[in-house]
């Protein structure tokens, strides 16, 4: 188990790799990738047992990034876990790279689902949890959804099914950054009252600050103690977290090309030295630090 300070340091590395990868790719979704970096960091360090040694085991813990456009952050956390190399994470969206623009399970054996079509990753996680319950296996299934993704009808079919089958081994996290595409959720399709909606579907619901490792920890402890129904963690986050000009700005959702100056500013804000910035932007990083 990592301490909260260790987790904070890892999350900063995840954010640095995410920004550099999107810059090198000349496209990507920085806002939503940065908002979920702390959540991914906690999951892969203190909840899930997914390692290079057990990646191919059928009964290990499972993670599904249902909001597949946040793939740069998923690859970044994977690099800190030695599931892929930093160079692979920085090769985002390059021809022939394993780091596709959305997760492709055929390219890496630790990936549990190919995602990108919103709502479908959540349904994949449901199937895994049902299989594990049927076989009386103790492995955990965790899935991360975007808040705009909740506007998909398949999400609510999945939520209804998970509660019906009492899938206590399934935990969903909502990256609730309040923004989607090019506007606020409330201006496109309002989600509130979100907590009450999941409760009405039969889920155990928690609301937290998605950037507080203490609150993330407490929520997962509560979820693991709830075995009679699925759990959902509504994590209030900031889109573009850690980079001042991206925070809560819809223009940084996706389909953006970061300039060199944008990237240098972002990496500097994330605590990177000028020398390190040059190395990461040229994809020559040799180790994660």
**Which CATH superfamily groups domain 4-281?**
Thiamin diphosphate (ThDP)-binding fold, Pyr/PP domains (3.40.50.970)
Q: What tokens appear for 262 in the block?
A: 């944008």
pLDDT of residue 285: 59
Average pLDDT rounded to a whole number, residues 170-185: 93
3-state secondary structure of 232: strand
Residue 11: burial class (beta carbons within 10 Å; 0-12, 13-18, 19+)? buried
Average pLDDT rounded to a whole number, residues 239-256: 89
Delimit the domains of the chain by residue range.
4-281
pLDDT of residue 283: 61
H helices of the chain, in order, are: 4-25, 30-35, 37-42, 71-80, 86-90, 120-134, 153-164, 185-188, 194-200, 213-225, 260-269, 274-281
CA 2 from centre of chain: 18
Band (pLDDT 50/70/90 cuts) for residue 275 is: confident
How far CA 184 is from CA of 11, 52, 216, 269, in Å, comes to 25, 39, 24, 25
pLDDT of residue 257: 86
Query: What's the pLDDT tens digit per position in 111-144?
Result: 999 999 999 999 999 999 999 999 999 999 999 9
pLDDT of residue 273: 85
Q: Which of 69, 73, 49 is nearest to 61 (CA)?
A: 49
Q: Which of 95, 72, 73, 86 is nearest to 11 (CA)?
A: 73
Rounded Cα gap, residues 112 and 44, in angstroms? 14
Does position 198 have pLDDT exceeding 90, yes or no? yes
pLDDT of residue 281: 75
The answer to whether 242 touches 14, Cβ cutoff 8 Å, is: no
Rounded Cα gap, residues 181 and 257, in angstroms? 15
pLDDT of residue 63: 98
- Higher-confidence residue of 253 and 220: namely 220
pLDDT of residue 255: 73
Alpha-carbon torsion, ordered 10, 13, 15, 21, to 10 deg: -140
Does position 284 have pLDDT exceeding 60, yes or no? no
pLDDT of residue 265: 94
- Lowest mean per-residue pLDDT among 34-43, 180-189, 280-289: 280-289
Does position 256 have pLDDT exceeding 60, yes or no? yes
Tell me how far apart the terminal alpha carbons of the chain are, to the nearest angstrom.
Answer: 19
Mean pLDDT score of the chain: 94
pLDDT of residue 233: 98
pLDDT of residue 276: 82
DSSP string over 42-72: HIIIII----TTTTT-TTS-EEEESSGGGHH
pLDDT of residue 67: 97
3-state secondary structure of 245: coil
Q: What tokens appear for 118 in the block?
A: 């919103």
Does position 203 have pLDDT exceeding 70, yes or no? yes
Query: What's the pLDDT tens digit per position in 93-106?
Result: 998 999 999 999 99
Average pLDDT rounded to a whole number, residues 188-211: 97
């Amino acid at each position: 188990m990592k301490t909260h300070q260790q987790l904070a340091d890892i999350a900063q590395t995840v954010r640095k790799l995410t920004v550099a990868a999107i810059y090198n790719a000349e496209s990507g979704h920085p806002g939503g990738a940065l908002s979920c970096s702390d959540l991914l960091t906690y999951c892969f360090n203190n909840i899930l047992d997914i390692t290079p040694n057990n990646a191919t085991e059928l009964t290990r813990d499972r993670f599904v990034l249902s909001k597949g456009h946040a793939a740069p952050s998923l690859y970044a956390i994977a690099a800190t876990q030695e599931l892929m190399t930093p160079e692979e994470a920085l090769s985002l969206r390059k021809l022939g790279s394993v780091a596709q623009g959305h997760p492709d399970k055929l390219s890496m054996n630790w990936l549990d689902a190919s995602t990108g079509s919103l709502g479908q990753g959540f349904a994949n996680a449901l199937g895994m949890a049902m299989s594990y319950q049927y076989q009386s296996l103790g492995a955990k299934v965790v899935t991360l959804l975007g808040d705009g993704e909740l506007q998909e009808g398949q999400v609510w079919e999945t939520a209804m099914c998970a509660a019906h089958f009492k899938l206590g081994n399934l935990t969903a996290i909502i990256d609730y950054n309040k923004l989607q595409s090019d506007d606020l959720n409330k201006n496109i399709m309002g989600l509130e009252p979100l907590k009450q909606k999941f409760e009405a579907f039969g889920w155990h619901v928690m609301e937290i600050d998605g950037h507080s490792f203490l609150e993330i920890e407490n929520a997962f402890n509560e979820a693991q103690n709830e075995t009679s129904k699925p759990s959902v963690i509504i994590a209030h986050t900031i889109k573009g977290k850690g980079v001042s000009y991206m925070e809560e700005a819809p223009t940084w959702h996706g389909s953006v090309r970061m300039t060199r100056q944008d990237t240098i500013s972002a990496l500097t804000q994330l605590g990177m030295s000028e020398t390190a910035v040059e190395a990461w932007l040229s994809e020559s990083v040799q180790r994660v630090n």
